Amino acid sequence: MHVVVVGAGIVGAAVAEELARRGATVTVLDMRSPGRGASHASAGILAPHTEAHEGTPLLDLGTRSLALYDSFVARLGERTRRAIDYARSGTLEVALDAAGASALGASRAWLAAIGVPAEWMTGADLRSFEPALAPDVEAALFKPHHGWVGVQSLIAALTESARLAGATFESPIAAVEVVPHTTHADVRAVDRRYTADTVVVAAGSWSGQIRIAGIDPVPIRPVRGQLLHLEWPATPGAAIGLPSRVVWGADCYVVPWPDGSVLVGATVEEAGFDERVTLDGVRTLADAAGRLLPRLRDATFLAARVGLRPAAPDGLPVIGPFGEAPRVVVATGHYRNGVLLAPVTAVMVADLVLDGRRDPALDVTTPDRFGVGSTRKNREEPS
């Protein structure tokens, strides 16, 4: 079976690797190069019990995918002999005031009700656990099962593993249109044509810009996220060092790296396809990080990154085939959780495309939930 995957971000790369490793002939097209879109500006946090709410489909998908991560990273590292930055060191969610502490208490209660470990901390215990925190922090909730992964090292391993299985990556190639047929689908780029048994559209924020002949576009919009890369201040004799785990506040999160730097993210901006770094975005993140971890006010600025995160109207990813074009599968709309959800998305897509196994979650993530369908049919219906 030949599959064309449109998009080589974290989701597209994971889907391509899973398909190729399981025997498909895979061609991956990307308008830039692997990992240069939203994935480039991702901090790689793996935190389903912070990002999602109790009893939601997003939480179910996130916990399923997190459970895959240890074996996912170990398999890729063994297969490619590449080092992948990865740690399950937990996340520390911090409240800076009484209102925030009350919200954290509510999170603590529902996590306890579903059996998820989370440790409540205040006062001296909290200061001892994470000395770099601001002295006026009210309370914190430590979730030890969470973690982070180095996105660029993960994408490099995914693309190499896919290539080892015979996949080809072609870039820069911008797919313009997908034309579904009964037995196959065609992809039209500016000056090239591809024919495949199945096409997977995993182009992130640009997924809705790719025309699918006869089908309404999936309503995906870009949400700009700016991210800072800072070097932790190395003052001689200072007792307070780099945080030991992800620290998550109301207005930013901070991810420590083994090299002594930190990532601070991320803004949430409705800015269309504008990928500029802005002074306001940098200032907002720098101020928030300084309130959370005061030593960062003396940090060295290394870089700022921007990514356009693909968001669907209901906040859920869009995964699955079109009912009226089953040869075209979408895997997009992961918003802030593309890195977290990459393993489970890859398995769901490969199970469907290669084995005809339809994961029950596809009933929730289907693109058809937006009422997309045949544009021809829509034109023929009376107004």
Q: What is the pLDDT of residue 340?
A: 98
pLDDT tens column, 13-70: 999 999 999 999 999 999 988 878 788 889 999 999 999 988 899 999 999 999 999 9
Domains belonging to the chain, first-starting first, are: 2-79+150-219+314-376 (3.50.50.60), 97-144+222-311 (3.30.9.10)
Q: What is the pLDDT of residue 375?
A: 52
Q: What is the pLDDT of residue 195?
A: 97
Q: Using alpha carbons only, what angle is made at residue 105 by residues 99 and 107, rounded to the nearest 5 degrees?
A: 110
Percent of the chain with pLDDT over 90: 88
Q: What is the pLDDT of residue 380?
A: 37
Q: What is the pLDDT of residue 62?
A: 97
pLDDT surpassing 90 at residue 166: yes
Q: Are 278 and 226 in contact (CB under 8 A)?
A: yes
pLDDT tens column, 99-150: 999 999 999 999 999 999 999 999 889 989 999 999 999 999 999 999 999 9
Give the pTM: 0.93
pLDDT tens column, 336-346: 999 999 999 99
Strands, sheet with 185-189, edge to edge from the N-terminal-most edge strand: 193-196, 185-189, 175-180, 211-212
Q: What is the pLDDT of residue 376?
A: 44
Tokens of 230: 């800072």
Mean of pLDDT values over 164-183:
95
Distance between CA atoms of residues 47 and 107, nearest Å:
13
Q: What is the pLDDT of residue 190?
A: 86
Distance between CA atoms of residues 16 and 164, nearest Å:
12
Distance between CA atoms of residues 31 and 173, nearest Å:
5
Mean of pLDDT values over 303-321:
96
Q: What is the pLDDT of residue 374?
A: 56
Q: What is the pLDDT of residue 378?
A: 41
Query: Which of these, 88, 11, 73, 77, lies nearest to 42 by C-alpha position?
Result: 11
pLDDT tens column, 7-23: 999 999 999 999 999 99
pLDDT surpassing 50 at residue 379: no
Q: What is the pLDDT of residue 41?
A: 82
Q: What is the pLDDT of residue 351?
A: 98
Of the given ranges (163-172, 230-239, 349-358), which has the lowest mean pLDDT? 230-239
